[in-house]
Amino acid sequence: MKLLRLCTLILIVTLTSCSTVKVTTDYDTKVDFNSYKTFAFHKKGIDKATISDLDKKRVMRAIEAEMVAKGFTKSNDPDILISIFNKTRERVTVNNNNFGMGWGWGWGWNPWMWGGMSQANVNQYTEGTLFIDFIDRRKNELVWQGIGSGAMKFSNPERKDKRIKEFVKEIIERYPPGS
């Protein structure tokens, strides 16, 4: 019974650890972010992203939805331009789970401790990193950057869309700084 609970716990931790997005941000501390009210996409920057055009559309739709939800307006004369780029790399994790070790009585070596169960779990996945840049349009300077990294597993377009929305939401939640 304890073994079943332990296996279930390990499975839950493994599955949830793959679904998280690690986010970092950087920004210009001299900028008044409250002055930005409107946005548009920086086509030249987005065109350089190495993802498919369909994924670019997914990312841009997700960014637009998050920005509008924060009270920003999409404009032809924007305060900030939003650009994206991405990186991917293959990752492998190996976890060695030892079950049954430590059974026995007394101090020191115990011959009845042998026979525990050991299992190695190997997980191969693609880690993706999405960069979202906010550029002051009038100064043409980068003022804020959000970076999200996490596992990317897409078995169908609906799951891909959901994962991209999750990445964008986690990143945009950190804008503006101090919010």
DSSP string, 88-128: EEEEEEEEEEEESTT-S-SSS--GGG---EEEEEEEEEEEE
- pLDDT greater than 60 at residue 115: no
Position 17 scores a pLDDT of 46
Position 91 scores a pLDDT of 63
- Domains of the chain, earliest start first: 21-91+122-179 (3.30.160.670)
Please provide the average confidence, as pLDDT, over all residues in the chain: 82
Its pTM stands at 0.72
